[in-house]
Structure 1
């Protein structure tokens, strides 16, 4: 199951830096995860200060 970033994202970039497969990028208002490449490792969720990445 892939992760998705919810609307609590504060655009800090911690998740993007931690993603081992590079599928997180800055969107217009918040970061986004390309679900097709997400390996469900949870690294993004572990570093997010506002728990924005959640399993889909």
Structure 2
């Protein structure tokens, strides 16, 4: 991975969200964030694919 990977993924997530790809945007952002975190990353890697594709009104 190159040193700009996380930054490019963050901008991709913004673009995906702007186009209505909420689930894909969330997954992209979360997966880009994981390498920068300390501690157990396995649970986040497992959770990311489970994020829904639509936004739920709370």
Do these two structures clear the TM 0.5 threshold for a shared fold by scoring above it?
Answer: no
Higher relative contact order (CA closer than 8 Å, sequence separation 6+): 1
TM superposition score normalised by structure 1: 0.30
Query: Which protein is bigger by CA-based radius of gyration?
Result: 2
- Scaled by the length of structure 2, the TM-score of the pair is 0.30
